[in-house]
Structure 1
Amino acid sequence: MAASLCLVAGKATDSVTYGFLPAAQRLGLDVVLLTDRPAAHAGADRTVVECDVTDFREIIACAAAPAAVFSNSDFLQAPAALAAAYSGLPAKDWRAATRAKNKSLMRGHLAGLDPVFAADPDGNGVPDGAPYPLVLKPREGVASEDVFLVRDARELAARRDEIRARRDDPLIAEEYLPGALHTLETLGDGSELRVLGSFRTRVSPPPYFIEERLEWAPPPPETGQVLAQLERLGVGFGACHTEFVVHEGRARIIEVNYRLIGDHCDFLMADLLGVPLFEQILRVHLGERLDAERPRPRSRRHAVAEAVIADRAGTLTGAPGPMEVTDGAVRVAYRPQRAVGDAFPLTRTNRDYLGTIRAIGPDADGIEAAIARFRAAHSWTIA
Structure 2
Amino acid sequence: MDENDLGAAESRPYPPRRRLHLLALNPTDSVTEGFLPAAARLGLTVTLLTDQPDAHHRAYRRHTAAGGTLPELEIRPCAVRDFREVVNHLAAEPDRPQAVFSNSDHLQTQTALTAAFFDLPGKDWRAALRTKNKAQLRRSLAEAGVDTVWSAELPPGGDPAALLARRPPYPCVVKPREGVASEDVRLVADGPELTAICREIQRRRPGEALVVEEFLEGPLHTLETLGDGRVRHALATFRTELSPPPLFIEERLRLLPEPPRPYTGQVLAQLDALGAGFGACHTEYVIQGDRARLIEVNYRSIGDQCDLVLAELLGIPLFEHILRTHLGEPLPTDLGARTGARARLEYITADRAGRLVAAPSAGVREDGGVRLDYRPLRELGEVHPRYGTNRDFLGVLRATGTDQHRIDRAVTEFLAAHRWEIAP
- What TM-score comes out, normalization by structure 1 length? 0.96
Distance in 2 (alpha carbons) for counterparts of 1:341 and 1:274: 37
Match of 2:148 among 111, 115, 136: 115
What are the equivalent positions in structure 2 for 1:223-372 lying under 5 Å apart?
Answer: 223-298=264-339, 300-372=340-412
Aligned pair in 2 of structure 1 residues 128, 191: CA closer, same or farther (>3 Å)? closer
Displacement of 1:295 in angstroms is 4.1
Alignment of 1:1-383 (within 5 A): 1-42=16-57, 43=60, 45-63=72-90, 64=93, 65-111=96-142, 112-121=145-154, 122=158, 125-168=163-206, 169-217=208-256, 218-221=258-261, 222-298=263-339, 300-383=340-423
Q: Which amino acid aligns with 1:26?
A: R
Q: Aligned AA for 1:380? A: W
C-alpha distance in structure 2 between counterparts of 1:127 and 1:315, whole Å? 44
Q: Determine if contact 2:316/2:335 at 8 Å carries over to the other structure.
A: no
Q: Give the Cα–Cα distance (whole angstroms) in 2 for the partners of residues 313 and 295 of structure 1.
A: 46
Q: Give how far 1:31 is off.
A: 0.6
Contact 1:317 1:341 in 2 (8 A): yes
Q: Is the 8 A contact 1:330 1:367 kept in 2?
A: yes
The separation in 1 between residues aligned to 2:374 and 2:124, in whole angstroms, is: 36
The answer to whether the Cα contact below 8 Å between 1:315 and 1:342 also exists between their aligned partners in 2 is: yes
Structure 1, unmatched stretches of 5+, are none
Moved more, 245-254 or 114-123: 114-123
CA offsets, 1:16-70, max 9 Å, x none?
A: 1111111111111001000000001125741000000011122122234232100
Q: Give, in whole Å, the separation in 2 of the partners of 1:322 and 1:27.
A: 29
The answer (yes or no) to whether the contact 2:341–2:401 under 8 Å persists in 1 is yes
CA displacement at 1:109 relative to structure 2: 0.5
Partner of 2:237, secondary structure, is: strand
In structure 2, how many angstroms separate the alpha carbons of the residues matched to 1:57 and 1:139? 22
SS of residue paired to 1:149: strand
**Partner Cα distance (1:61, 1:333) in 2:** 43
Instruction: Note the aligned Cα RMSD (angstroms).
Output: 1.5
Query: Hey, what's the Cα distance between the residues in 1 that align with 2:228 and 2:306?
Result: 22
Conserved? CA contact 1:183–1:199, under 8 Å: yes
Unaligned runs of 5+ in 2: 1-15, 62-71
Query: 2:84 corresponds to which letter in structure 1?
Result: R
The amino acid that maps onto 1:158 is A
For residues 316-342 of structure 1, what are the alpha-carbon distances to aligned partners after superposition, in whole Å with 9 as ceiling and x for unaligned? Answer: 123233332211211111222212222
Tell me the number of residue pairs that the alignment of Structure 1 and Structure 2 aligns. 382
State which drifts further: 208-217 or 371-380.
Answer: 371-380
Partner-residue secondary structure (3-state), 1:253: strand
Shift of 1:128: 5.0
Per the TM alignment, residue 293 of structure 1 is displaced from its structure 2 partner at its CA by: 2.1
> What secondary structure is seen at the aligned counterpart in 2 of 1:120?
strand
1:91-139 deviation line (CA, Å, top 9, x unaligned): 0001100110000110011112201110124365243532211101111
Aligned-residue offset at 1:152: 1.1
1:2, 1:369 → 2: CA distance? 49
After TM superposition, give the deviation of residue 377 of structure 1 in Å.
3.5
Letter of the aligned partner of 1:19 in structure 2? G
Q: Separation in 2 of the partners of 1:320 and 1:26?
A: 32
Q: How many Å separate the matches in 2 of 1:125 and 1:4?
A: 49
Question: What are the superposed Cα offsets for residues 259-315 of structure 1, whole Å, 9 maximum, x if unpaired?
Answer: 0000111111111101111111111111111123234334x2221111011111111
Contact 1:213/1:305 (8 A) holds in 2: yes
For the 8 Å contact 2:346–2:396, the answer to whether it is kept is: yes
State the AA in 1 paired with 2:287.
V
Q: Is 2:231–2:333's contact at 8 Å kept on the other side of the alignment?
A: no
Seen in structure 2, the aligned counterparts of structure 1 residues 340 and 66 have a Cα distance that, compared at 3 Å, is: farther
